[in-house]
């Protein structure tokens, strides 16, 4: 598209006058005005095009403006834009079936929400009503959303300002060998010690008071820590032994991101409840939900479920989910994510890590990778302190600016950059982005020894 700086300036002026942005000091931000997007790229009004290595907020798994999904939304809009959740309607029925066919085990009923946080809220509500217990355990280094229960369950600093109503939430340490909370020296030790720590937390909190344990199958925003073999199976066993509902949050890891439909598929583990959003329809229309086991669904067979949303199972959202899932299957997009990750992205990142003093660890799978940036590879001291802002965060801000100058839109969180392109990313696009990343890392290297 031709550059049109005047149009961009008008968009920006109205934004600054009237849009109140998430997570931000309103006077200190400078949002980029976006003119359009397609596939793995988006562009501004000044003629700059960016390769999207963030998939926005790790949600455009199918890339921007997939023609089949756009057409499905248009067709549904012409047919039926909205209908209350109480009715049975073709696209909602079909979306629920397509999702249930892919979720592990007997997670065959789908409660639709508008996004991930509402999915977590409802999963927790279901677990509490199903067990008659109140407490929920969640991990540090996690993100579960920004609504009441979801933000309390979150294990990163975004929780702190909203932590006043955290009654019933208890945090524990999940496995993360590179920054082990257990002084473990290998994955097996990390796994055993993390499970023992969880057991002990449960013993001291009182097993009969715990409704649920919620985990991201592969923690996303907190650092893409692929759990060691046996960990999730161990949590499943602990939950079974104590009658605790096991919730896996697949809002970020689900729908192809890890190279399987669900990250749980890598570990052969079936939770009692699974939350999803983002990749289910790549966010073309807001959609999330909870996949529910037969046993928990049975709890609400004759007893009403006390929760609902005006837009639960919205037809435009469901139509886009149907089109997205069908396109992902027809075009082998999940397989592409697995293949590009294993053959192109993983090896390239490991090679990059060897050459750059700032790259402490590379970890991930599929199109879901993190680079842990450090000041020193020996001490593993993070490139910026935990939750740094302002001047303390300058090394990461310089790195992000270098990416953008090179035409790469990065995902950056604390001392990490995540390589999370669309599941549709081609080999050529991945290589283009990796070359830009390689270049930008010299900005981080300047702060490392
Ligand atoms: N759960 C996980 C694992 C997430 O990554 C997110 C968002 O990043 C959420 C929940 C919240 O989803 P939403 O922003 O759609 O409410």
How far is 339 from 367, CA to CA, in rounded Å?
9
How far is 446 from 358, CA to CA, in rounded Å?
8
Residues of the chain with CATH 3.40.640.10: 67-330
Question: What ipTM score was computed for the predicted complex, to two decimals?
Answer: 0.99
Task: Say yes or no: CB of residue 289 within 6 Å of ligand 1.
Answer: no
Report pLDDT for 163.
80
Look up tokens 């796994």; give the residue: 191
Residues of the chain with CATH 3.90.1150.10: 5-65+332-445
Residue nearest to atom 5 of ligand 1 (CA): 252
Mention the CATH class of domain 67-330.
alpha beta
Report pLDDT for 1.
66
- Tell whether the model's pLDDT for residue 164 goes beyond 90: no
Q: What is the pLDDT of residues 353-399, one digit of tens each?
A: 999 999 999 999 999 999 999 999 999 999 999 999 999 999 999 99
Q: What is the CATH number of domain 5-65+332-445?
A: 3.90.1150.10
How far is 421 from 222, CA to CA, in rounded Å?
17
- For ligand 1, the distance from its centroid to the CA atom of residue 377, given in whole angstroms, is 31
Substitution site in 145, 154, 274, 370 for ligand 1 pocket (most atoms within 8 Å of beta carbon)? 145
Task: Say yes or no: CB of residue 155 within 6 Å of ligand 1.
Answer: no
% the chain with pLDDT above 90:
97
Beta carbons of 123 and 288 less than 8 angstroms apart: no
How far is 141 from 219, CA to CA, in rounded Å?
7
Q: What is the pLDDT of residues 5-62, one digit of tens each?
A: 999 999 999 999 999 999 999 999 999 999 999 999 999 999 999 999 999 999 999 9
Question: How does residue 162 score in pLDDT terms, banded at 50, 70 and 90?
Answer: confident
Report pLDDT for 167.
72
Report pLDDT for 302.
97
Task: Say yes or no: CB of residue 115 within 6 Å of ligand 1.
Answer: yes
Look up tokens 């990490």; give the residue: 416
- Tell whether the model's pLDDT for residue 165 goes beyond 80: no
How far is 35 from 64, CA to CA, in rounded Å?
13
Q: What is the pLDDT of residues 83-118, one digit of tens each?
A: 999 999 999 999 999 999 999 999 999 999 999 999
How far is 252 from 261, CA to CA, in rounded Å?
12
- For ligand 1, the distance from its centroid to the CA atom of residue 124, given in whole angstroms, is 14
User: Which atom of ligand 1 is closest in space to residue 278's alpha carbon?
Assistant: 15
Task: Say yes or no: CB of residue 296 within 6 Å of ligand 1.
Answer: no
Q: What is the pLDDT of residues 3-21, one digit of tens each?
A: 999 999 999 999 999 999 9
For the record, the structure tokens of 161 come out as 């300002």
């Amino acid at each position: 598209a031709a550059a049109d700086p005047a149009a961009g300036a008008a968009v920006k002026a109205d934004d600054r006058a009237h849009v109140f942005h998430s997570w931000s000091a309103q006077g200190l931000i400078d949002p980029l005005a976006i003119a359009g997007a397609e596939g793995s790229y988006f562009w501004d009004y000044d003629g700059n095009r960016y390769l999207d290595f963030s998939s926005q907020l790790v949600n455009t798994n199918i890339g921007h403006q997939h023609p089949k999904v756009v057409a499905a939304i248009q067709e549904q809009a012409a047919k039926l834009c909205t209908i209350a959740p109480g009715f049975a309607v073709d696209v909602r029925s079909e979306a629920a079936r397509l999702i249930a066919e892919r979720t592990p085990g007997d997670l065959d009923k789908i409660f639709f929400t508008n996004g991930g946080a509402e999915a977590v809220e409802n999963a927790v509500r279901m677990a509490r009503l199903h067990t008659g217990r109140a407490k929920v355990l969640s991990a540090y280094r996690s993100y579960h959303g920004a609504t009441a229960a979801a933000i309390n369950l979150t294990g990163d600093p975004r929780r702190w300002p909203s932590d006043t109503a955290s009654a019933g939430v208890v945090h524990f340490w999940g496995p993360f060998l590179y920054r082990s909370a257990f002084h473990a020296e290998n994955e097996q030790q990390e796994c055993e010690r993390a499970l023992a720590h969880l057991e002990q937390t449960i013993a001291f909190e009182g097993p009969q008071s715990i409704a649920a344990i919620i985990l991201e199958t592969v923690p996303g925003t907190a650092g893409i820590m692929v759990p060691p073999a046996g960990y999730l199976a161990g949590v499943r066993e602990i939950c079974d032994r104590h009658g605790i509902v096991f919730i896996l949050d697949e809002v970020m890891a689900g729908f192809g991101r890890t190279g399987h439909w669900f990250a749980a598929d890598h570990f052969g583990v079936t939770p009692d409840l699974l939350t999803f959003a983002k990749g289910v329809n790549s966010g073309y229309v807001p959609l999330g939900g909870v996949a529910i086991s037969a046993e928990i669904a049975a709890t609400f067979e004759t007893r009403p479920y006390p929760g609902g949303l005006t837009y639960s199972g919205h037809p435009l959202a469901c139509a886009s989910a149907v089109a997205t899932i069908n396109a992902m299957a027809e075009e082998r997009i999940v397989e592409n994510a697995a293949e590009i990750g294993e053959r192109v992205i993983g090896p390239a990142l490991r090679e990059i890590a060897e050459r750059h003093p700032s790259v402490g660890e590379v970890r991930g799978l599929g199109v879901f990778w993190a680079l842990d940036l450090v000041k020193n590879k020996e001490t593993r001291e993070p490139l910026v302190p935990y939750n740094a802002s302002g001047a303390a965060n300058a090394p990461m801000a310089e790195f992000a600016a270098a990416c953008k100058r090179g035409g790469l839109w990065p995902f950056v969180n604390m001392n990490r950059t995540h390589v999370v392109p669309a599941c549709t990313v081609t080999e050529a696009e991945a290589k283009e982005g990796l070359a830009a990343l390689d270049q930008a890392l010299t900005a981080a290297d300047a702060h490392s020894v």
